[in-house]
Amino acid sequence: MKLFLDTANVDYIREINDLGVICGVTTNPSLIAKEGRDFKEVVTEITGIVDGPISAEVISMDADGMVEEAKELIKIHKNIVIKIPMCAQGLKACAALTKMNIKTNVTLIFSAAQALLAARAGATYVSPFVGRLDDVGAHGVELIEEIANIFAVHGIECEIIAASIRKPGDVTACALAGANIATVPYDVMKKCIDHPLTTQGIARFLKDWETVPKK
Ligand code: E4P
């Protein structure tokens, strides 16, 4: 399973990209709003940091509007992926963009049927939201597993981006469930790096090293 960073914060993106663990970035209107900066300016900056798929979301609610926004966004960089909300107009826009060879990420996926439809409309990626399903008492990881099984059985090439990740356990559970990618928020990524036993272990090694006779 590959890892993307789920943020529009360029400082976070630089820091995690330098670790060599991510190969893409996802943004959404809420993440962009948090930065208090111009949308295109932020996305352009991100494309200069990470050499991989960068999802930028459209906000029109009609297919024609989504396609027009997409045409503008792809001018920013060849790595831009157009993020489209799952709905009838979104599917229509996805199909049109696929015909134009423009990559898409159909987002706000909460059922396997939605993922199947998005894939059939030509989506490059689907983004099932694990954490938001867990929040309402459902099981987000089970959805990842269902979609992965359906795509495997039917030879569907669309990649599954496990989104709405809330904790390190979600990352590993999604990997086991068959997600192709997990898009991980900065704080969860940091938690994935650290472990109290690793911290203790490093401290003990350094302490013991002090007792090694030095010539
Ligand atoms: C990414 O593609 C999604 O927009 C994001 O993971 C949603 O996460 P949230 O449910 O924590 O807002």
Residue 215: which residues within 8 A CB-CB, separation 6 or more? none
- Going 96 to 98 to 101 to 104, the CA torsion angle's sign is positive
Q: What is the largest CA-CA distance in the chain?
A: 75
Cα of 143 vs centre of ligand 1, distance in Å, is 15
N-term to C-term CA, the chain: 47
Measuring CA to CA, which residue among 87, 4, 98, 84 is closest to residue 49? 4
- The CATH code of the domain that includes 163 is 3.20.20.70
- The predicted pLDDT at position 28 comes to 98
- Which atom of ligand 1 has the smallest separation from the CA of 30? 12
Which of 31, 129, 160 has the most ligand 1 atoms within 8 A of CB, as the residue to mutate? 129
Domain contains 82 = yes
Domain contains 215 = no
Could you tell me the pTM of the whole model?
Answer: 0.97
Q: How far is CA 94 from CA 22, 106, 164, 215, in A?
A: 26, 8, 22, 68
Measuring CA to CA, which residue among 114, 113, 107, 122 is closest to residue 55? 107
Residues with pLDDT less than 50, the chain: none
Cβ neighbours around 47 below 10 Å, total: 18
- The predicted pLDDT at position 201 comes to 98
pLDDT tens digits along 180-192: 999 999 999 999 9
Domain contains 13 = yes
Spatial separation of the C-alpha atoms in residues 113 and 146, rounded to whole Å: 10
Residue ranges of the alpha helices (H) in the chain? 10-17, 29-35, 39-47, 63-73, 88-99, 112-120, 130-135, 140-153, 168-177, 186-193, 196-210
- Which atom of ligand 1 has the smallest separation from the CA of 127? 2
Cα of 210 vs centre of ligand 1, distance in Å, is 46
Ligand 1 lining (C-beta closer than 6 Å): 6, 26, 28, 107, 127, 129, 131-132, 163-164, 183
Spatial separation of the C-alpha atoms in residues 48 and 77, rounded to whole Å: 9
Cα of 128 vs centre of ligand 1, distance in Å, is 9
Number of structural domains the chain divides into = 1
Spatial separation of the C-alpha atoms in residues 134 and 138, rounded to whole Å: 5
- Which atom of ligand 1 has the smallest separation from the CA of 55? 2
Range of 118's domain?
A: 2-210
Domain contains 43 = yes
Nearest CA to ligand 1 atom 1: 163
Nearest CA to ligand 1 atom 5: 164
Cα of 200 vs centre of ligand 1, distance in Å, is 33
ipTM higher than the 0.95 cut: yes
Q: How far is CA 74 from CA 7, 71, 103, 193, in A?
A: 19, 6, 9, 33
